[in-house]
Amino acid sequence: MRANKSKRAPSDRTVGRLTLYRRILNEIADDGVKHVHSHALALRAGATAAQVRRDLMVVGYEGTPRRGYGVAQLISALTSFLDEPGGQPVALVGIGNIGRSLLAYFVGRRPNLSIKAAFDVDPQKIGRVINGCRSFDLSELDREIEAQGIRVAILAVPASEAEQVARRLVDAGVVGILNFAPVALHTPPGIYVENVDVTMSLEKVAFFSRRKKARTAG
């Protein structure tokens, strides 16, 4: 919140790295590590030590050259920078294969980001509680989003429906969309869209793998 007032907004890439640093720190904290140097964090995150130090200046916590960063303090600084204090409710649209996977995946994983409402058009999938999340008919989308004050949505509908559903989400008050539909959304300015396309990613890996020689074992 502080950064919001006094500093330029951090870039998309910086925020991505900050969330990665936090997960790395949580993991090493579980292993009992108390202090970490920027170069160790950089190695795990695929960045340089200078990059790590620059990124972490944004959150307003500095380590010492001798001991590095205090792991617990840095996690706490990252959390107050990245997270909304009371948590942010998330909507999911589309309870198909991807949608169900996400419900299972996010349950309890990030207490701060929990899927509070799921929507579909299939009568079999609505009016239920799936992994702790209530499911609704798509016709109730606008009312639920507004009633719960939801501003973040995950879009996991077929590509042919994605544009229209995105428009309804935005009209209901959503300002950030994580899009799993293999289509580019044309949203109004000011809406943040992040695309995830696992099929594309696997097809790319497969394509480039065909062109490469395996390493000789040894």
Q: Which of residues 51-80 bind its own copies (CB under 8 A)?
A: none
Q: Which stretch binds its own copies (CB under 8 A): 41-49, 66-74, 122-130, 132-140?
A: 41-49
Q: What SS3 state is found at 176?
A: strand
Binding pattern for the stretch 123-162 against its own copies, x by CB under 8 A and - elsewhere: ----------------------------xx-x---xxx--
Q: What's the token pair of residue 151?
A: 């501003």
Distance CA 29, CA 21 (A): 12
157: DSSP letter: S
For its own copies, the closer of residues 4 and 6 by Cβ is: 4
Q: Does residue 210 touch its own copies according to CB under 8 A? A: yes
Answer yes or no whether residue 6 interacts with its own copies by CB under 8 A. no
Between CA 162 and CA 182 the distance in angstroms is 9
Under rule CB under 8 A, residue 90 binds its own copies = yes
Partners of residue 69 on adjacent β-strands: 36
Calpha distance 109→204 (Å, rounded): 29
Stretch of 19-27, 48-56, 62-70, 118-126 lying at the interface with its own copies (CB under 8 A): 19-27
